[in-house]
Each structure stands twice: as structure tokens, then as C-alpha cells.
Chain A
Amino acid sequence: MSHVRRERWIAFFILLPSILLIALFVYGFIAWTGVVSLSQWDTVMPDYRWAGLENFRRLFEQAQGVAARRFAIDLWNTLFFTILFLLLCVGVGLLLAILLDQKVKGEGVFRTIYLFPMALSFVVTGVVWQWIFAPGTANYPRGVNALLHGLGLDALRWKWYTDTSGIGPFHKALIPVILAAAWQLIGYTMAMYLAGLRGIPEELREAARVDGASEVGIYRHIVMPILQPITLSALIILGHTSLKIFDLIYTMTGAGPAFATDVPGIFMFETTFQGNHYAQGAAISIIMLVLVALVIVPYLVSTFRREVQL
């Protein structure tokens, strides 16, 4: 065996434990969860008797009562949460990055302030925003309601994350949760956009100015097209985060009244570890996995296909 070939084998053996661990803990366990989702396991004791797709069917059942429709509610909540959260993160993140790119004094301070929530636990964020949006009662307002009361703006008081009303399938109670999540992750998009903006050579903008382009025109026709791949990455990373979000909402509001702030992550956790309905919990998690995979797999494939071409 040649020297190089021997070295390649050693290289492979260095990687092997990681490959085996990932094969078992990621792919093996996913398959195992798949088996559980098709089983009758409904107590603390494992029970692998075949149930077919019954656990999935039950999730989509059109039955009466909120509890029976919990999963449908969760999917709507996830949809609205994802859309609004992404809009806020991309919109505000881009705005802040462009503002910071205007050669402002104290840029470092502003950047630090916008980005520090990224260093915190979702649990920390959840606790603080739970306090901020706690509605209190009519006579004893808390949080923002207390602030509004103090300002004489009682008309603007509402029940925040304890509100059960909505517009169609959209629960207004999600708004405070979305704001908290955006507070934590806007810094992420801002940092990505800022890195992108800093990568644009000044000569490019200078050339456009010489050609008589306005500042707004430069952003529209030069900067934004360059930033487009960053927007795509941000949407995929944050989008998949919001599909599996758990800690923040679990800490801040939990499932909420009539599941107004419930998401599949919470449903799965409560069903499995508090209700011991393991098969049902497994079915929820498989659906979560499929949703995330639909977003992530094309992203990984396109990223690595591009790399192989290089």
C-alpha cells in the first residue's frame, strides 16, 4: 500500500467515529422515531404493535373542540408565526444594516446593541418578554398595559398573549411572541447583511455614481441584487428555526389559552413527555422533520453542488 493511500485510510478512520455517531443518532434515531409513530405506544412502557397511519390520521381529524383540532391550529400558528417573523427579521435587519453602512459614528455600539440578544438563551428572552406582555387584569394592568394605562392610552390595552381572538385562523396572541422572537434574531440578519454590504467594493458604487446613478438607484440596481443570496440564506435558516421553535414559546406563554400560541414543538413535547403518548408525539415530530427537510435539503444540495463545480 502506498504512503498516500495509507494516509487516506487513516484520514477515513479519524472521521469514522463521527460518521457512525451521526448515522446512529441522526438517521438511526429518525428511523426509530418513524417506527414509533406507526406504533401503539401510548404509555410509559414501549409498545411497538402496529398502528399504521392512525397517529397521523388523528392529527388531521376534523373533530369538534379545540383539543381535537390542536394540530391544525398549530400548523396555522406556525404559518403565521413564520411569515411575520421572517418579514420582521429581513425587513428590520436589512434596514439596520443599510443605516449602519452609512459611515455612522458609534457603529460598533449600535451593532453591539442590535446583536446582543443573539447571545442569550431563548429561555432568558421568554422570561423577560413574558413580563413585558403580561396583560394583568382590568384594574391591575401589568407590563405594557400598565405603561399604556399610565399614559392614559387605555383604549390601546389588550390581552396580548392571553388573547383568544383572531382574524380568521390568525391568533392575535402570536404578535407578542413574534416580537420577542424578532427581537432576538433581527441581529442575525443585520450581521449577515452588513457582512454582505462590506463585501461590495467601493469602486463598484463609485463607478455607478460617475455614471450618474442616484444613491437610491445604486441600492436598487447594484446593492440589492448582490444581497439577494444573503436574503435566501437568511430566509432558510430563520425559516427552519421558526418551524421547530419551542424554548421561547414554551417559556413565554406555553400553549396559551385555546392553543392560541401553541406550535408543533410544544404539542410534541407535552404529548410525549407529559402525556406519555409516545406514538402520537413521534408522529408530530415526523411531520416537523418533513417540514424542515423540505426547506433544508434543497438548500444543502444546491450549496454543495455549487461547491463541487468550483
Chain B
Amino acid sequence: MRRRLDPWRIGIYALLTLFALLFLVPVYVLLSSSLKTFVEVEDLSRLWSLPSGLHLESFRSAWFGIPSKGLRGLSQNLLNSVYLTVPATIISSVIGSLNGYVLAKWRFRGANVIFPVMLFGMFIPYQSILIPLTQTLATIGLGGTIWGLILVHVVYGIPITTLIFRNYYAEIPTDLIEAASIDGAGIMGTYLRVLFPLSLPGFVVVIIWQFTNIWNEFLFAVSILQKPALQPITVALRNLSGSQIQEWNMIMAGTLIAAIPTLLIYVLMGRYFIRGLLAGSVKG
């Protein structure tokens, strides 16, 4: 078979490959540094070279910490992230589903005002509510607790989860709802019998979106949780990288540990991840 050497096509592939390599530089840094020993990672003449072998001691340090240097391990923080992210994701997805159903199928007067007013909540800089938020959480006894942070993520997750579900349900034919209604099903009956069974793809998109966002979140977590033992992994990681002693192999291993859950979801369920991504740009 004769291969056509079209310079235009070669250029396209060359550019795509060049950008791909540039995008992967941080991955190389992460992997190579985390597989080095401490002596090796501090050898400035070999900063960018491959590790001399598969040294996993950095992962051990990142997980258990280095008590002799006063460095905490991240295992507890990883668990905290799970305790935080899983309930917050589930609760906010269910709320979003109910809200989205009501807004898409039971349009009542004022809904066209209420919805955008609600959506504004997902764009605000959270700094502008942070002071009242920390005060309020302290007043209701949830200050400095993971439950407090769960509540925060549920509340501020309402706009985006409602938006995604509303757009998702808008695609489902209203005839189905009306048929159920004629059969005597009430609003909740229709939801449970008709909508909910059709909601799986919507839930996948929302769950992935919320899980990723809450897992990765930093500002709320660092403002609300002061106790190192309660902080999620993003906060613990930033404390580690911002500390005086910079054990770069340990930091990079910790970074990988923090990144792996959301990366795995992205690699396995990228299609749904992208749908959530594009839904966030409010195509009303």
C-alpha cells in the first residue's frame, strides 16, 4: 500500500503530538520524582532524569508520614476526603434530581425567575459568603467538623446539580409524565415510577461531577477545618508542599495519591465527565 505523504497531515500530527508531550510534562515530573529516593530527588543534577529504580519509599512516607521530621502522613486525610465526598455527593445528587424534575416538568409561575436566581449561587466567589458561613457553622455546632463541610457542599451544590438534572429531564417526553398522571399517579409517584428509572445517565453525570469537585475543593475545606486530623487530602497536601521541609519525592507521591481517585473516574468514565463539564456552561 502506497502511503501518501501529505505535509499538511504530517504538520497536524506533529502539532498534536507536541502539545500532547507538553501536557504530559507534569505527569512525568509526578511519576519520576515520586519513584525516587530522597537522596536522588535532592540531587539537582538529576532533577529531570528517570528514577534509578522503582523506589516506593516515598509512597510509604506519604501514607504514614515521617514522624522524625514532624511530617504527617496522608492516609487519614484520604479517608476524610472519602467521608466528606461520598455523602455530600449522594445527598446533593438526590436534591438536584428532585429539583430538576420539578423545574423541568412542573413549571409554575415564577420558576423562570427562581431558577436563574438560584444559579447565580454557583458563580459567586465563595469568599463573599465565607465569614457568615464559618460564623453560622460555629453557632449551629458544626464548626470545624466534616459534617459542617458536607452541609456546605450540599447547599452550594444545589445550583449545578439542579441545572444538570433540569436539562436532562427536559429531554424526556412530557407525554410520559402525562400518561402517568392520567393513571392517577401524583407528582412523587410519577417521579418514582417514570422519571427515576430513566435517570441513571443523569445521575452518573451529576455524581461524577460532584465527586470530582468536592474531592478537589480547597477553599471551604481550609476555612472550615482547622484540625489537621480532620482535613481532606487537598488541604493536607498543600500544608505538606508549603512546609519548610520539602521532601519532594514524598510530596509528589502524596500528590499522586490525591489525584488518583478523580483521575481514575476521568479515565474510566470520561464521556460522562465531559457532559458534566459542558453542562456547567449553562445552556439554559
List chain A positions with a Cβ less than 8 A from chain B: 7-8, 10-12, 14-15, 18-19, 21-22, 25-26, 28-30, 32-33, 36, 46, 92, 95-96, 99-100, 102, 104, 109-110, 112-132, 136, 140-143, 146-147, 150, 183, 188, 191-192, 195, 233-234, 237, 240, 243-244, 246-247, 250-251, 254, 264-265, 268-269, 272-273, 278, 281-282, 284-286, 288-289, 292-293, 296-297, 299-301, 303-304, 306-308
Q: Which residues of A contact B130 (CB under 8 A)?
A: 33, 272, 285
**Do residues B128 and A30 form an inter-chain contact, with CB atoms below 8 A?**
yes
**Do residues B131 and A126 form an inter-chain contact, with CB atoms below 8 A?**
no
Contact of A233 among B112, B274, B281 (CB under 8 A): B281
Q: Contacts A30-B124, A112-B270, A127-B251 known; list 12 others, CB within 8 Å.
A: A7-B106, A8-B108, A15-B114, A18-B162, A28-B132, A114-B19, A116-B23, A119-B263, A119-B266, A121-B215, A124-B259, A285-B127
A164 to chain B, nearest CB (A): 20
Contact of A246 with B127 at beta-carbon distance under 8 Å, contacts A99-B15, A303-B282 already known: yes
Bound together, the chains give a CA A254 to CA B274 distance in angstroms of 30
Contact of A246 among B24, B102, B219 (CB under 8 A): B219
List chain B positions with a Cβ less than 8 A from chain A: 9, 12-13, 15-16, 19-20, 23-26, 29-30, 33, 44-45, 47-48, 95, 98-99, 101-103, 106, 108, 112, 114-121, 123-133, 135-136, 155-156, 158-159, 162, 181, 186-188, 212, 215-219, 222-223, 234-235, 237-238, 241-242, 248, 251-252, 255, 258-259, 262-263, 265-267, 270, 273-274, 277-278, 280-284
Bound together, the chains give a CA A286 to CA B130 distance in angstroms of 11
Q: Which residues of B contact A25 (CB under 8 A)?
A: 121, 129, 133, 155-156
Chain B binding site: helix, strand, loop or mixed by DSSP? Answer: helix
The chain A residue sitting closest to B256, CB to CB, is A124
**Do residues B255 and A127 form an inter-chain contact, with CB atoms below 8 A?**
yes
**Do residues A192 and B281 form an inter-chain contact, with CB atoms below 8 A?**
yes
**Do residues A188 and B277 form an inter-chain contact, with CB atoms below 8 A?**
yes
Bound together, the chains give a CA A114 to CA B16 distance in angstroms of 10
Bound together, the chains give a CA A8 to CA B102 distance in angstroms of 9
Q: Which 7 A-B pairs have the closest CB atoms?
A: A121-B216, A244-B125, A119-B266, A11-B106, A29-B129, A285-B127, A32-B132
